[in-house]
Structure 1
Amino acid sequence: MDDKALKARVEAELEWEPSVDAADIGITVEDGIVGLNGHVPNYAQKVAAEAAVKRVKGVRGFVEHLQVQPTPSAHSDDAVASRLASILDWTVEVPADQVKVKVENGFVTLLGKVDWQFQRAAAEHAVRPQQGVRGVLNEIQVKPHAQASDIKQRIQAALERRADIEANQIVVTVVGDTVRLDGKVRAWFERDVIEHAAWAAPGVAKVDDHIAICL
């Protein structure tokens, strides 16, 4: 697929995505690599725009330079932090008193330790769309509590259950609480599915994704 056709597909996908206001997003494409420039009103739209690009068939990679320019707000960092702390308290997937919030100039840092990756992801998902949030740095740690062999078996079993993934093309290496993924897939969404399976295994604190996309 040539770059002009790919750009048209990316533009169409961003326009179709209801959670993204693409009016101020510029798109460039060079040799299958998509560049996003411009600004969006909140961090959640920035993440949604990235996800939309990754869904498009033919995208070999992307470079994202979107800036978050929230609407003017009188809320201080202290007020934002207080509101986010309350939201996390009400998020059932996040264990009570395990996650702390730091806010500086609208940029949020999440701190603490949890037992599962889905709890780490739930905390980030809860704070992303909130007013005044310009970015999120997730430094929540996952407590290791599983053997490397068990992690590897769980990941491979999850991949084999997926009809759209050729599990025998993926190599899973586990050292301690770190998973390394190698191999080849046909589309970016398959890479995301595999990485999600790796994160879903108990005790995984880090995933090094080296899977290549072969169109």
Structure 2
Amino acid sequence: MKTDSQLQRDVLDELAWEPSVDHAEIGVAVTDGVVTLSGIVQSYTEKVAAEKATRRVKGVKAIAEELTVRYDFQSKTADSEIAQRVSAVMSWDPLVPDDRIDVTVEKGVVKLTGEVDWNYQKQRAFKAASKISGVTGIANLVRIEQSVDTGDIKRRIEDAFKRQAHLESSKVNVVADGHKIRLGGRVNSWHERGIAERAAWSAPGVNHVEDNIIVG
């Protein structure tokens, strides 16, 4: 098992390796396998990339993300302009039902509300907002509304697990409670855990995934 100092070095190396992250102003602290990221990034997209890079490192149990987005290189974008740009990007994506999603912005923080049928629609709306300069945070409050059969949704998720080449499906268990899914078990890496969670979110009607899978 890695020590906290070894894990800290590995995370720093992974951040330096990731081309979309300027690691110079990112601090990394580790306590009992929990990584805290702090410092300054230049965009919300970079903030997300830093978190993803950290999750790739073997031995990371959890992440406390305290990064601040600061646009030193440009003047502050007006909230109304950010809202218009987010709405425009969503309208260009045929997979986003933009007529069912409302966008409001306050001090650079985008709030998305409304109802969609699938989680991928909610996530694509989030990606659209994260691309816009001036965004300092995103509250994705879009709800997923679709009637579901608990037994059917559990079976679909378990079948999806079995199709994944890099996931030992027998080590992950699924409990379905209406629109809510609880995942449990133990896997070898964050990558496997991510595969399981994405598969669960891909099922129709799922609006909440409680991921209790242990890594290690």
User: Aligning the two structures, in what range does the TM-score lie when normalised by the shorter sequence?
Assistant: over 0.9
In 1, the alpha carbon distance for the partners of 2:15 and 2:186 equals: 26
Q: Which residue of 1 aligns with 2:8?
A: 7
Deviations 1:169-209 (A, max 9, x none): 21111111111111111111211111100000001111111
Aligned letter for 2:147? H
Which SS does the other structure have where 1:86 is aligned? helix
1 CA distance for matches of 2:194 and 2:76?
38
Paired residues of 2:76 and 2:134 also in contact (CA < 8 A): no
TM-score by length of 1: 0.95
Verify the 8 A CA contact 2:118 2:204 in the aligned structure 1.
yes
Question: Which amino acid in the other structure matches residue 189 of structure 1?
Answer: H
CA distance in 2 between partners of 1:151 and 1:74 (Å): 45
Query: Cα distance 1:74–1:40, how it changes in 2: closer, same or farther (>3 A)?
Result: closer
Tell me the alpha carbon deviations over residues 52-109 of structure 1, each in whole angstroms, 9 at most, x when there is no partner: 0000012122221111112342431111111111111111210141111110000000
Tell whether the 8 Å contact from 1:144 to 1:205 is kept in structure 2 after alignment.
Answer: no
CA RMSD of aligned residues (A): 1.2
Code of the residue aligned with 1:174 in structure 2: it is A
How far apart in 1 are the matches of 2:131 and 2:25?
18
Kept in 1, the 8 Å contact 2:55–2:190? The answer is yes
Deviations 1:2-43 (A, max 9, x none): 222222211111111111111110111222221111011111
Question: In the alignment, which residue of structure 2 is the partner of 1:43?
Answer: 44
Name 2:173's counterpart in structure 1. Answer: 171
Equivalent in the alignment of 1:149? 151
Compute the TM-score of the two structures, normalised by the length of structure 2: 0.95
Q: Distance in 1 between matches of 2:98 and 2:34?
A: 42
Runs of 4+ aligned structure 1 residues displaced above 3 Å come to none
Return the alpha-carbon distance in structure 2 between the equivalents of residues 206 and 96 of structure 1: 21
**Match of 1:132?**
134
